[in-house]
């Protein structure tokens, strides 16, 4: 049962990351169009600049949980890599329970009222021609809520591994071989 919860959380974060990936394309297009207009017609707007950092914030906040799911989060692999897989899993559990979960809970706890206040007051950017601010502020608790959920999923997987219910591939980092990278490049070029 717990593994089905873990897989549902993983699927949710994979789908969100796939959608948020399009924010990168949107940011590049907006940046390019903004630069062309600015240098060609000597005109621009702060809204163009702000929407770029909104998109960057969305990419970072909403896809960070997917990074955790893929086991590509920051850690000291040089040290952890010297230990057995079982010890590495204990280190992960320790980190998730003592650091990730409490900090994420704290940020969600304080981030929700922070975002709600911005929504209720219809907060606007202080820059001339700027955008509404609440969407960016809402990304903070939303991103950390997704991180909390993914933390639960990762804890479930680590406990299942320690109990002998699953092997490490459920949460191991997938390192592409050079051949896989070449095939991925070829596939991307066919689009």
Alpha-carbon gap, residue 147 to 135, rounded angstroms = 18
State residue 83's pLDDT score. Answer: 87
Alpha-carbon gap, residue 39 to 31, rounded angstroms = 12
State residue 175's pLDDT score. Answer: 64
State residue 170's pLDDT score. Answer: 75
Q: Residue 77, Cβ neighbours under 10 Å: how many?
A: 10
Q: How many residues does the chain have?
A: 191
Q: What is the mean pLDDT of each run of 10 residues along the chain (191 residues)?
A: 93 94 92 90 86 92 93 74 88 94 98 96 87 94 98 96 87 70 78 64
State residue 126's pLDDT score. Answer: 86
Running DSSP on this structure, what letter comes out for residue 121?
T
What is the domain extent for residue 131?
2-190
**Domains of the chain: total:** 1
Contact 127, 46 (CB under 8 A): yes
State residue 174's pLDDT score. Answer: 64
State residue 42's pLDDT score. Answer: 87
State residue 176's pLDDT score. Answer: 65
């Amino acid at each position: 049962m717990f593994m089905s919860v873990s897989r549902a959380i993983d699927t949710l974060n994979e789908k969100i990351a796939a959608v948020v990936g399009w924010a990168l394309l949107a940011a590049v297009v907006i940046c390019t169009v903004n630069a062309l207009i600015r240098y060609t017609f000597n005109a621009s707007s702060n809204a163009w600049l702000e929407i770029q950092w909104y998109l960057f914030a969305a990419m970072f906040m909403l896809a960070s949980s997917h990074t955790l799911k893929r086991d590509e989060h920051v850690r000291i692999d040089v040290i952890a890599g010297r230990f057995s897989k079982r010890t590495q899993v204990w280190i992960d559990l320790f980190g998730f329970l003592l650091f990730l979960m409490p900090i994420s809970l704290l940020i969600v706890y304080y981030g929700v009222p922070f975002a709600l206040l911005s929504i209720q007051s219809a907060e606007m950017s202080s820059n001339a021609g700027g955008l509404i601010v609440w969407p960016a502020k809402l990304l903070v608790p939303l991103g950390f809520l997704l991180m909390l959920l993914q933390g639960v999923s990762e804890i479930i997987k680590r406990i299942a591994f320690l109990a002998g219910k699953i092997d490490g591939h459920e949460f191991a980092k997938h390192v592409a071989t050079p051949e896989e990278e070449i095939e991925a490049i070829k596939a991307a070029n066919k689009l």
